[in-house]
Structures are given as C-alpha cells and as structure tokens.
Amino acid sequence: MRIQRGGPAVAGLALCLGALVACGGGSSGGKASPAGDTAAPPTAGATTGTSAGGPLASKRSGGHPLAGKVVVIDPGHNGGNASHPREIAKQVYVGNGTKECDTTGTDTVSGYSEHAFTWDVSNRLAKILRSQGAKVTLTRKNDTGVGPCVNQRAAVGNDLHADAAISIHGDGAAASGHGFHIIEPLAVGKNAKIVAPSAKLGTALRDAYHSGTGISYSTYLGTKAIDKRSDLGGLNMSTVPKVFIECGNMRNKGDAAKMTSASFRQRMAESLAKGFDDYLG
C-alpha cells in the first residue's frame, strides 16, 4: 500500500480509504496476476449474500453469531486508478488537511497487484461474514473502476451506521521487512468517539489474523503489529469503528508467496472473519 506504481501525478503513501464506490488494492495498472494465482474472487454483488464454505463456516454452521451486524469492507485501491492519474490526484479533505483522492497501490515483484489482492480477500471475507448472518457492503463494486476517494470510502460505513469497518491492504515496504500490522485511528475531530472501539476491533483482528495465518507481526512498523495514525482519510473521516490492515509486505519474497496463493488468501479471510466474530459476536 506504501508504493505507488503508475500515475505520475500521484505520490506518497499508497493507502487508500473510504467510500461509496470503494478504494481497492491497486498498483501497476495493467499487470496481470502471476500464473497459478487465477482463482477468481467471489463475484456476488456488493450487497448480495452468499453462503460460504471452508473450515470457519463449517465450525459455525450451528448458529449465526453475527446475525444482523452491519460490516463494511473497503478493498484498497482500484484497478483503473493507474490509468486515471488526474482523477486520483485530486485533493480531498481528510479531517486535518487534504490528501490525494486515491492512490494506485503496490504489487509483488512478479506483478501481482495490491488492488487485485484486496479485492479477492475482501470478497472472500464478505462471503464468510454473510454466511453468518452479517449485512456486508463493499466500498467498490469491481476491480476495474477508479477510486472512490478516501473520504467517500469512509462515508459508506458512516451512512450505513456500520457496527465495524475494515480497509484491506498489502504493504509496499522495503523487501527486507516482513509481517502484517493493523492501523488504528488517532483522534482528529469527528472520529474521536470511535478511537477506543476501533482499538478493540484492531486488537481482535490482530489476534485472530496472527493466530489463523501464522504471519508474524511486522518487523518494520508498529508495536506488536499495532500502528496508530492521524493521516489516513479513511480513519479520520470515519464515525464508526474502523481499522486498516496491511496483510503483509508485498515486496517481501516470503509474504508475497503467501499473498499470491489463493488458498492462503482464503485462510486470511477466515482469520479476519474470526476477528469480527470475536469483536461483534
């Protein structure tokens, strides 16, 4: 999420947040996913429920602990961002200043893009949560569009009065660093009331993700995989409990091997679903 590839007018962190259409994990524009990583994500509409398989769903088949809970999932970046640099470079208000509407994201050395990664994991997670009775909305409808802007991504959760929201990313740090981390909001104004519940959500997701995937805490950022920031519009503009997760460092060979594996992305989604169950159930 840190490295921006494509879109010369856009620079800085590749974190994208927010809104009505969604920001999806993105990076190198037209780069294709590596061979062997073509397992398609679920194609159900953003608000259409589908049943989920997998170990987590099987274990919970006897009940629906998340019934009626509203969850918003924000797949970082979007597939069309790189070809629309002017649109995503537009400045938007993020609570304590302005930032780019969106960014392109990062990718693995082999060319698997962050926007494709976040779209896949987000759909897998949505499928599991819906099977448990949750009402799930994604902030973008596909992986071929542009944006939405980070403030719009936050507005999706706000408008739905979500019980919890998450923005899913893959980091683009130096290749020597590895592991995952959660980003929690610092108070910048309108988000002050959600700082404490967001910290609880972050801890629940961190513990479940670490336990379920075996991925280590980040070796290069955060304290025990928790980082707190005040520069992300998706968190600054949120009025519902929300965190970001950098699921791994896409520039690190070991993390990339996991993130380009369809079966491991399913494992990531199941682990995150367990975190939501722990927080909301």
> Is 246 labeled as catalytic in the residue annotation?
yes
Q: What is the pLDDT of residues 209-262, one digit of tens each?
A: 999 999 999 999 999 999 999 999 999 999 999 999 999 999 999 999 999 999
Residue 80's φ and ψ, nearest 5 degrees, are -95, 0
Of the candidates 129, 136, 126, 18, the one whose C-alpha atom is nearest the C-alpha of residue 78 is 18
User: How many CB atoms sit inside 10 A of residue 192's CB?
Assistant: 12
Distance CA 91, CA 264 (A): 36
Computed on alpha carbons and rounded to an integer, the radius of gyration of the chain in Å comes to 16
Question: Domains in the chain, ordered, with CATH?
Answer: 54-280 (3.40.630.40)
Q: What is the pLDDT of residues 153-203, one digit of tens each?
A: 999 999 999 999 999 999 999 999 999 999 999 999 999 999 999 999 999
Distance CA 53, CA 247 (A): 22
Distance CA 185, CA 247 (A): 17
Residue 212's φ and ψ, nearest 5 degrees, are -80, -30
Mean pLDDT of 261-269: 98
Q: Does the pLDDT of residue 59 top 50, yes or no?
A: no
What is the reported pLDDT for 194? 98
- Grade residue 2 by pLDDT with cuts at 50, 70 and 90: low
Query: Could you say which of 100, 114, 246, 270 is catalytic?
Result: 246
- Grade residue 64 by pLDDT with cuts at 50, 70 and 90: confident
What is the reported pLDDT for 46? 37
Q: Does the pLDDT of residue 16 top 50, yes or no?
A: no
DSSP string spanning 21-69?
S------STTPPPPTT--PPPP---TT------HHHHHHTTT--TTTT-
Measured in residues, the chain has a length of 281
Buried b (16+ CB within 10 A) or exposed e, 94-103: bbeeebbbbb
In contact, 129 and 66? CB cutoff 8 Å:
yes
Q: Of residues 118 and 32, which shows the higher confidence score?
A: 118
Q: What is the pLDDT of residues 68-85, one digit of tens each?
A: 999 999 999 999 999 999
User: How many CB atoms sit inside 10 A of residue 9's CB?
Assistant: 12
* Average pLDDT over the chain, rounded to an integer: 84
Q: What is the dihedral of CA 120, 123, 127, 129, to 10 degrees?
A: 110
Q: Does the pLDDT of residue 266 top 60, yes or no?
A: yes
What is the reported pLDDT for 65? 79
- Grade residue 7 by pLDDT with cuts at 50, 70 and 90: very low
Buried b (16+ CB within 10 A) or exposed e, 54-63: bebbeebeee
Cα separation of the two ends of the chain: 30
What is the reported pLDDT for 63? 61
What is the reported pLDDT for 48? 34
